[in-house]
């Protein structure tokens, strides 16, 4: 994803989390994948599915991808974090373990 697409994905994930009352703990949108730590009462599969669907929709609306272009791989990590330390570790990895920050438009 280029800077424009990364910006669309970042804003969309934040909007969806706010709309669904999910707590977005950390987010890092990279050129070819996304890391997000989300706290939600909904099943992890729904969280992942909703985020991917809304991001795809917004990327198409912004003309960042073509209508029939596949955006995401099938599946995705839905790891559950059971301790505060686990959440802190995942957030730290998401924020700083991905390399230098990338620009977004």
Closest residue by Cα to residue 27 from 97, 95, 96, 99: 95
Give the pLDDT of residue 74.
85
Q: Any long-range contacts for 60-68 (C-beta under 8 Å, 24+ apart)?
A: 62/4, 62/5, 62/8, 64/1, 64/2, 64/4, 64/5, 64/8, 65/5
At which residue do the structure tokens 């992942």 appear? Answer: 48
Closest residue by Cα to residue 25 from 56, 17, 55, 76: 17
Give the pLDDT of residue 80.
93
Of the two residues 105 and 76, the one the predictor is more confident about is 76
């Amino acid at each position: 994803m280029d800077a424009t697409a990364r910006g669309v994905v970042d804003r969309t994930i934040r909007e969806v989390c706010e709309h669904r009352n999910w707590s977005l703990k950390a987010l890092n949108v990279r050129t070819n994948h996304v890391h997000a730590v989300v706290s939600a009462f909904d099943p992890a599969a729904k969280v992942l599915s909703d985020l991917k669907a809304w991001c795809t929709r917004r990327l198409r609306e912004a003309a960042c991808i073509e209508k029939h272009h596949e955006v995401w791989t099938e599946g995705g990590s839905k790891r559950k974090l059971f301790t505060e330390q686990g959440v802190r570790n995942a957030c730290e990895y998401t924020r700083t373990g991905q390399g230098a920050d990338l620009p977004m438009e």
